[in-house]
């Protein structure tokens, strides 16, 4: 129903606006203002006049509300300001790093979802073996910290076997290993969701009625179970979308991959708040986009919501 | 015979996914006190909605539901509705959903007795009396709902309602989830209790034959309106409207 | 793959000593030594309180008992040429294939038995093709014919719509068409009218009556209401506490029951006649 | 389900007992006894600064446990009541709670923890609070969804007719229905918290790496692959503690015994 999808769109626009206000307020509430950080890092005296000057130069002066609208106006037109520490255009820096993080995060979750469907269904319908396998993956992904596995991977393949020169890679090769690890860490949870939905289907009245008409249960679940199970899988993927950019922080940090999260960690440690602020706005934009797109896929999947 | 509840032009509509459904399309109805009325109709005719409106579980979109105490259930403030609450009770269709699954029977019933002002030491005996009135016993007090049959749970629901000394009880298809034998016992119990306690009973059902056993006064509903009202025997022997005819034809008779 | 078993002529059902017990050290008796003969075209009603074991009898008979239960006895399908197929000795998959090939089975909540994610034409077509080799056109015409036979006029429009777009009454009729469109000679129904109101119940009973008469099909109908069964079946079997306590024609059972009103087998619905 | 609880309680009990035994001073540096294998004096050997690994592990255990308890309490005490209220009331209250929840759901818990601990410093309480706060969103959503469905059950509507006060309905009739499913979700979120805290300590923003945290221990010894034991003990600690909560969570995703 177009009406339902438009309602979701308006809801997300509201959310976007509210979160931008919150992010703006948080950035302003931090103990050390960007001006102080800039002056102290360069050993310059922190005097009201120098703060005044910097504020005018960076266009941060004036009443708070005007500042907000100037900031959001510039943000929407692509001018995200300059990094206090490096002075480079934030939007440029983000543009270089976003694709890398997306490849690792989105690629990892997508790969996990692709594997989770067959693995989860097999775990529900197939032999005990598949089920134990799925449980083992979930167990490891919930009990073994990711940075440990990254370290072991680097040590084994990089140092001992020397197959992959991890810290000298570039281009696509850069993201392969981190993406696989992200996929592994999402696979456990996603396959458990698929199994749970497949189990639920077994007792659905329309399934028992079809079995009574002569259809074989497992064939039926494989063929007709697709939509309800995919519905459950994709709604879990939507919930994981916030994790895609942020959750890959450790993986990017250990592999020293110049992605968004690695950039965030560096900015936080150097108190580069304008970068942090823009990072959070990218997150909000990212969530806004995925909820609209995947929300549309969900409503296509279940005719009742169409 | 004072009028306990009088409904004037009551309307209610639901917006469902596929299409707008107006459950009630202008209903006028007077419910006298100490009276038994059967509300009969096919599913979707709005009889359950009407039942829920008369106990204030929902509010109508338009119209008036004037209670003898002068409170209009349709437009009054929540506080005045709450003061009326214990006097207007309802027993629901699915017995297994009528009691909290994690509470023993006495844990569900005791607070009701306490709120009626019964002193703490007297509560257990009050509960036992109310259960015995509906054909259950003290032994049932310690049981969880899952350990009781559908028929027993509906009786316990009736006992819970009676604890509030109600002036009005809505029985919303209370026997359709039971098998025929339990159905018979429950309807006969309901008739006995009404005669003893003199509350007004709104007996909602789709089974005209069952309605005849419980109430003399019958209302037939179709598509959100009351289309026919009269004595039970008269409606059964000589149904006027199409809806009433369909209901009468549907009562199983022996063909062989 | 179709499971349509080509029966030569009418099929009759012979059940001998059918019992169901729970496994484990103290097995509980759920069904005790039940016999039944169902000649082609004959209709038998099975009546009993809820939980008496009537649904268990149907599940055991059709091979849909969960594996956790121990089913004894014999259930045989005998077709016109005298060829006998024994269900209970076959393995689960084969047993269900044989059972669904010969019997049109429907369990209780018919209203939810349609797949909400598929259009009516897809579900009905799949069931038709499961029982017979049909080309696309044949499937379409068969589907339309079946929708008409359950009294649904706008067949073409219905085919393309989803279950949630249909009214309760229409969904119930489509469900009945779906269970019977396999053309099986024996119809087995376990209280299909629960959760229906009186008028739809009556319509559902008439539908079963007409469809069974049309295909000269035999019928096994389970209900807790003797009056309902009375409209459909010629003879009845009363099950109580897992045992058959009474069987015979409807009139025999009714007179026997009304002669001692205290009899615990009070199943008569609200009898207008008496 | 009972076996699961016993196994989980067993592991947790053993760890609590083991790490509450008296142990050496974790900050006692002894450069003469660097990287020693397990011995009578040092049951788990010593690290690159000659500190007793057993003492480090013990302190790390209690700090991690503090984080899990703080985070879980924060999530539950904030999330469940808000979920109940949002589920039971309509209109403005519901909208405000849901918008706030959506906000915390947009920003990943880990990123929020990175930001906050960098500003206020990484301590078990600060990490616990921020992980708890940003983890509360899921509790609000789950509680609200359960409340919405339980609210329409007949026994709750009957209580409304019996003039039972709303608070009593929420606590006595709705909450028990919510507690079951939430209890199982608690397991998976708790094991997630353990890994998140270890990750925060590993990245080490705003923390001095001499503080005995399992995450910092792993960070310090990550390059000493030739001394695998130094990596093994913290990993084993994290693994076992996470297992305790993972066992509780498993039925959540697979319907067992229902």
pLDDT at C8 over 70: no
Q: Which band of pLDDT confidence, cut at 50, 70 and 90, is reported for residue C263?
A: very low
Q: Looking at CA atoms only, how far is residue B182 from chain A in angstroms?
A: 27
Structural domain boundaries, residue B222: 3-99+165-249
> For A39-59, what is each residue's pLDDT tens digit?
777 788 878 888 888 777 766
Q: Sort out which chain C residues have CB atoms less than 8 A from A212's CB and list them.
A: 62, 64, 100, 105-107, 179
More confident position, C81 or C103: C103
Task: Say whether B15 sits in a helix, a strand or coil.
Answer: strand
What lies within 8 Å, CB to CB, of D225 at 6+ separation is A155, A159, D231
Half-sphere exposure of C187 (CA within 13 A, CB side): 33
pLDDT, position B175: 85
More confident position, A147 or C261: A147
pLDDT at A1 over 50: no
Q: Which band of pLDDT confidence, cut at 50, 70 and 90, is reported for residue A170?
A: confident
Structural domain boundaries, residue D189: 2-257
What spatial distance separates the first Cα and last Cα of chain C, rounded to whole Å?
53
Bridge partners (DSSP) of residue C21 are C29, C70
More confident position, D165 or D26: D165
pLDDT, position D122: 81
CA pair distance A119, C205, nearest whole angstrom = 45
Q: Which of A176-190, B133-147, D38-52 has the lowest mean pLDDT?
A: D38-52
Percent above pLDDT 90 for chain A: 10
> For A111-120, what is each residue's pLDDT tens digit?
999 999 999 9
> For B103-116, what is each residue's pLDDT tens digit?
999 999 999 999 98
Of B85, B86, B98, which has the smallest distance from its Cβ to D155's Cβ? B98
Structural domain boundaries, residue A181: 94-269
Q: Six-digit token pair at D135? A: 């983890």
Task: Tell me the pTM.
Answer: 0.83
CB pairs under 8 A between A and C: 67
Tell me whether residue B139 is in a domain.
no
Instruction: Over range B43-60, report the average pLDDT.
Output: 91
CATH of the domain at B44: 3.40.50.300
Q: Which band of pLDDT confidence, cut at 50, 70 and 90, is reported for residue C257?
A: low
The full set of domains in chain C, from first to last, is 4-273 (3.40.50.300)
Answer yes or no: are the C-beta atoms of B183 and B175 closer than 8 Å: yes
Q: Sort out which chain B residues have CB atoms less than 8 A from C205's CB and list them.
A: 252
pLDDT at A214 over 70: yes
Q: How does the average pLDDT of chain D come out, rounded?
A: 84
Chains within contact range of chain D (3+ C-beta pairs < 8 Å): A, B
Q: Sort out which chain C residues have CB atoms less than 8 A from A204's CB and list them.
A: 112
CB pairs under 8 A between B and D: 51
pLDDT, position B62: 92
Q: Sort out which chain C residues have CB atoms less than 8 A from A213's CB and list them.
A: 100, 104-105, 127, 130, 178-179, 182
CATH of the domain at D185: 1.10.3720.10
Residues 195-254 of A with CB under 8 A from C: 204-206, 208-216, 224, 227-228
Residue D172 and residue B97: Cβ atoms within 8 Å? no
pLDDT, position B171: 95
Answer yes or no: are the C-beta atoms of D51 and D27 closer than 8 Å: yes
Q: Six-digit token pair at B126? A: 């009050």
Size (chain B), residues? 256
User: What's the domain count of chain D?
Assistant: 1
pLDDT, position B256: 29
pLDDT at A36 over 70: yes
Percent above pLDDT 90 for chain C: 28
Tell me which chain D residue has its CA closest to the CA of residue A289: D106
Instruction: Over range B28-42, report the average pLDDT.
Output: 92
pLDDT at A239 over 50: yes
pLDDT, position B17: 54
Q: Which band of pLDDT confidence, cut at 50, 70 and 90, is reported for residue C5?
A: low
Tell me whether residue A31 is in a domain.
no
Tell me whether residue A301 is in a domain.
no
Of B18, B246, B252, which has the smallest distance from its Cβ to C269's Cβ? B252
Q: Sort out which chain A residues have CB atoms less than 8 A from B17's CB and list them.
A: 1, 304-305
pLDDT, position B88: 94
Residue in B17, B18, B19, B20 to test binding to A, most A beta-carbons within 10 Å: B17
Q: Sort out which chain C residues have CB atoms less than 8 A from A230's CB and list them.
A: none
Q: Looking at CA atoms only, how far is residue A3 from chain B in angstroms?
A: 11
Instruction: Over range C205-227, report the average pLDDT.
Output: 89
Bridge partners (DSSP) of residue B30 are B6
pLDDT at B63 over 90: yes
pLDDT, position C268: 47
CA pair distance B208, B39, nearest whole angstrom = 9
Residue A214 and residue C164: Cβ atoms within 8 Å? no
Q: Looking at CA atoms only, how far is residue D140 from chain A in angstroms?
A: 14
Burial of B230 (C-beta count, 10 Å sphere; 0-12/13-18/19+): middle
Instruction: Over range B78-83, report the average pLDDT.
Output: 88
Instruction: Over range C112-125, report the average pLDDT.
Output: 91
CA pair distance A188, D249, nearest whole angstrom = 13
pLDDT, position B198: 92
Axis-axis angle for helices A260-269, A273-301 (nearest 10): 150
Q: Which of A127-136, A186-195, A260-269, C264-273 has the lowest mean pLDDT?
A: C264-273
pLDDT at B153 over 90: yes
pLDDT at B193 over 90: yes
pLDDT, position C164: 87
Which H or E run includes B25? strand B20-32
pLDDT at D206 over 60: no
pLDDT, position C52: 80
Size (chain A), residues? 306
Residue B89 and residue D161: Cβ atoms within 8 Å? yes
Of A209, A228, A302, which has the smallest distance from its Cβ to C106's Cβ? A209
User: What's the domain count of chain A?
Assistant: 1
Half-sphere exposure of C58 (CA within 13 A, CB side): 30
pLDDT at D159 over 90: yes
Q: Looking at CA atoms only, how far is residue C256 from chain A in angstroms?
A: 36
CA pair distance C192, B132, nearest whole angstrom = 36
> For C42-89, what is each residue's pLDDT tens digit?
999 998 887 788 888 999 989 888 888 899 999 999 988 888 889 888
Which alpha helices (DSSP H) does D21-108 contain, by range?
A: 53-88, 92-106
Q: Sort out which chain B residues have CB atoms less than 8 A from A304's CB and list them.
A: 17
CATH of the domain at A261: 1.10.3720.10
pLDDT, position D253: 40
Instruction: Over range A80-101, report the average pLDDT.
Output: 82
Instruction: Over range C249-256, report the average pLDDT.
Output: 77
pLDDT, position B249: 85
pLDDT, position D48: 80
Which of C47, C78, C20, C56 lies closest to C248 in space, CA to CA? Answer: C47
Q: How does the average pLDDT of chain A come out, rounded?
A: 83
């Amino acid at each position: 129903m177009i009406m339902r999808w438009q309602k979701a769109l308006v809801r997300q626009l509201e959310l976007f606006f509210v979160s931008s206000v919150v992010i703006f307020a948080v950035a302003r509430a931090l103990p050390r203002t960007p001006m102080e950080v800039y002056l102290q890092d360069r050993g310059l005296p922190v005097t009201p006049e120098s703060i005044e000057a910097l504020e005018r130069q960076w266009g941060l002066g004036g009443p708070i509300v005007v500042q907000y609208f100037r900031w959001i106006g510039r943000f929407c037109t692509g001018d995200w300001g300059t990094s206090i520490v490096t002075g480079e255009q934030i939007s440029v820096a983000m543009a270089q790093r976003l694709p890398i993080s997306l490849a690792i995060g989105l690629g990892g979750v997508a790969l996990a979802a692709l594997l989770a469907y067959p693995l989860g269904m097999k775990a529900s319908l197939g032999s005990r073996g598949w089920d134990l396998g799925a449980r083992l993956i979930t167990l490891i992904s919930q009990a073994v910290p990711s940075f440990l596995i990254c370290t072991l991977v680097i040590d084994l393949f990089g140092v001992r076997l020397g197959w992959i020169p991890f810290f000298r890679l570039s281009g696509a090769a850069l993201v392969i290993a981190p993406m696989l690890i992200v996929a592994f860490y999402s696979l456990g949870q996603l396959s458990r969701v698929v199994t749970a939905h497949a189990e639920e289907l077994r007792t659905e009245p329309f399934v028992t009625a079809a079995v009574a008409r002569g259809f074989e249960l497992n064939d039926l679940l494989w063929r007709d179970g697709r939509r309800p199970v995919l519905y459950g899988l994709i709604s879990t993927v939507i919930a994981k979308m916030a994790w895609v950019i942020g959750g890959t922080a450790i993986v990017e940090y250990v592999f020293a991959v110049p992605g968004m999260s690695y950039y965030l960690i560096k900015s936080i440690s150097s108190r580069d708040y304008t970068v942090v602020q823009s990072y959070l706005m990218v997150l909000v934009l990212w969530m806004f986009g995925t909820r609209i797109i995947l929300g549309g896929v969900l409503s296509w999947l279940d005719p009742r919501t169409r | 015979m004072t009028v306990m509840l009088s409904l004037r032009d009551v309307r209610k509509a639901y917006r469902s996914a596929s299409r707008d459904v107006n459950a009630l399309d202008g209903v006028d109805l007077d419910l006298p006190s100490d009276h038994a009325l059967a509300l009969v109709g096919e599913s979707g005719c709005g009889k359950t909605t009407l039942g829920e409106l008369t106990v204030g579980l929902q509010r109508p979109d338009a119209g008036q539901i004037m209670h003898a105490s002068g409170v209009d259930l349709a437009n009054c403030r929540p506080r005045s509705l709450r003061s009326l609450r214990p006097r207007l009770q309802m027993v629901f269709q699915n017995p297994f959903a009528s009691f909290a699954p994690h509470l023993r029977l006495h844990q569900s019933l005791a607070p009701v007795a306490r709120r009626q002002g019964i002193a703490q030491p007297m509560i257990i005996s009050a509960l036992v009396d109310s259960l015995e009135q509906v054909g259950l016993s003290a032994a049932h007090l310690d049981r969880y709902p899952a350990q009781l049959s559908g028929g027993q749970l509906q009786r316990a629901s009736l006992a819970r309602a009676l604890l509030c000394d109600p002036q009005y009880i809505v029985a919303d298809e209370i026997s359709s989830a039971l098998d025929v034998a339990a159905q018979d016992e429950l309807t006969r119990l309901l008739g006995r209790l009404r005669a003893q306690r003199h509350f007004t009973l709104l007996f909602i059902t789709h089974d005209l034959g069952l309605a005849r056993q419980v109430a003399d006064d019958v209302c037939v509903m179709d598509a959100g309106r009351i289309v026919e009202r009269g004595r039970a025997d008269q409606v059964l022997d000589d149904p006027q409207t199409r809806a009433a005819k369909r209901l009468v034809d549907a009562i199983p008779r022996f063909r062989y | 793959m179709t499971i349509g078993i080509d029966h030569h002529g009418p099929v009759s059902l012979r059940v001998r000593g059918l019992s169901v017990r729970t496994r484990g050290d103290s097995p509980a008796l759920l069904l005790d030594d039940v016999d039944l003969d169902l000649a082609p075209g004959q209709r038998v009603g099975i009546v009993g309180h809820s939980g008496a074991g009537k649904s268990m009898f149907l599940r055991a008979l059709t091979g849909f008992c969960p594996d956790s239960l121990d089913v004894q006895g014999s259930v045989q399908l005998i077709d016109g040429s005298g060829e006998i197929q024994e269900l209970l000795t076959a393995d689960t998959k084969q047993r269900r294939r044989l059972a669904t090939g010969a019997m049109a089975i429907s369990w209780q909540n018919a209203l939810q038995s349609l797949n909400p994610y598929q259009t009516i034409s897809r579900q009905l077509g799949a069931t038709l093709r499961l029982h017979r080799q049909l080309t696309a056109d044949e499937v379409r015409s068969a589907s339309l014919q079946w929708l008409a036979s359950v009294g649904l006029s706008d067949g073409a429009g219905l085919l393309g719509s989803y279950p949630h777009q249909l009214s309760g009454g229409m969904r119930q009729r489509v469900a009945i068409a779906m269970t019977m469109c396999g053309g099986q000679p024996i119809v087995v129904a376990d209280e299909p009218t629960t959760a229906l109101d009186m008028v739809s119940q009556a319509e559902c009973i008439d539908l079963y009556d007409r469809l069974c008469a049309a295909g000269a099909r035999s019928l096994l109908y389970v209900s807790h209401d003797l009056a309902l069964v009375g409209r459909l079946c010629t003879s009845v079997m009363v099950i109580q506490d897992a045992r058959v306590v009474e069987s015979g024609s409807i009139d025999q059972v009714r007179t026997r029951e009304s002669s001692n009103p205290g009899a615990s087998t009070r199943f008569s619905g609200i009898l207008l006649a008496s | 389900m009972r076996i699961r609880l016993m196994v989980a309680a067993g592991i947790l009990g053993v760890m609590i007992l083991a790490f509450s035994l008296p142990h050496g001073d974790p900050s006692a540096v002894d450069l003469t006894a660097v990287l020693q294998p397990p011995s009578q004096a040092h049951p788990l050997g010593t690290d690159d600064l000659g500190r007793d690994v057993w003492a480090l592990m013990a302190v790390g255990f209690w700090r991690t446990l503090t984080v899990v308890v703080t985070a879980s309490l924060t999530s539950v005490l904030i999330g469940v009541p808000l979920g109940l209220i949002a589920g039971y009331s309509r209109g403005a209250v519901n909208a405000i709670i849901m918008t706030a929840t959506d906000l915390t759901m947009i920003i990943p818990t880990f990123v929020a923890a990175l930001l906050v601990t960098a500003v206020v410093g990484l301590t078990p309480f600060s990490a616990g609070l921020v992980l708890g706060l940003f983890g509360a969103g899921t509790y609000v959503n789950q509680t609200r969804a359960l409340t919405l469905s339980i609210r329409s059950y007949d026994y709750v509507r009957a209580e409304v007719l019996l003039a039972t006060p709303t608070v009593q309905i929420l606590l006595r009739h709705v909450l028990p229905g919510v507690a079951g499913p939430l209890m199982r979700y608690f397991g998976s979120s708790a094991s997630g918290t353990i890994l998140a805290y270890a990750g925060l300590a590993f990245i080490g923003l705003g923390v001095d790496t001499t503080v005995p945290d399992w995450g910092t221990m792993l960070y310090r010894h990550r390059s000493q692959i030739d001394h695998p034991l130094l990596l093994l003990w913290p990993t084993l600690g994290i693994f076992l503690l996470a297992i305790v909560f993972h066992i509780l969570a498993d039925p959540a995703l697979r319907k067992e015994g229902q």
